Amino acid sequence: MRKAWISCGVLLLAGAMAVAVDLSGEWASQLTFGSAAVSARTTFTLHLAGSGWQLTSSWNPFLPEVSSHTLVLRGGLGALTWTAGASFDLAPRGGGLPLSRAHGQALWAAEGFAVRSGFVSFDLVLGNLTLRLTLHGAPAE
C-alpha cells in the first residue's frame, strides 16, 4: 500500500511539473560535402523554463566537446530585479573534460563538471531611470 501512495505522489508531482514548466526544443541535422570528406552534424537543443529560471542545453552526439549548457535564474524584490547565470560543461561518461575546455580554462571545476563563465546583474528601476550593475566572470585567455 505504501508503494502505491509513493507512486501516486511521484506521478502527481511529475504532472504538476509538466503543467508548471515550459519545455521546448529543436533538433537539427546537417550533412556537409567537402572536397576531402563528408561531415555529419546533429544538434539537440532543449529549453526548459519555469517560474524564474531557464535551462538551455545544446548537445551534439558526434562532437560532445562542443556541447554547451546554460542556467539562468531571475528574481526580484520590489523595484530591484536580479538575473544570474552560468555556462558550464559536463564531462562525458568515463572521461575527463573536453580538451578544448580543460580545467585551466574554467572558473571553477570539479570531477566531471566545470563552470566556464558566469554573471549576475542587478536592475533598480526609479521612475524613468534604471540603474544596472552587471558583474561577469570568465577565465583569463
Q: Provide the pLDDT confidence category of residue 5 given band limits of 50, 70 and 90.
A: confident
Q: Is 55 exposed, middle or buried (CB count within 10 Å of its CB: 0-12, 13-18, 19+)? A: middle
Cα pseudo-dihedral 7, 8, 10, 15, rounded to 10: 140
pLDDT of residue 100: 46
Domain ranges of the chain: 23-137
Full DSSP string of 38-64: EEEEEEEEEEEEETTEEEEEEE-SS-G
DSSP character at residue 69: E
Q: What is the pLDDT of residues 68-104, one digit of tens each?
A: 788 888 888 889 999 999 888 776 545 554 544 444 5
- Measured in degrees and rounded to the nearest 5, phi and psi for residue 111 equal -60, 110
pLDDT of residue 50: 72
Q: What is the pTM of this model?
A: 0.58
Sequence-separated (6 or more) residues with CB below 8 Å from residue 7 = none
- Measured in degrees and rounded to the nearest 5, phi and psi for residue 34 equal -115, 180
pLDDT of residue 99: 45
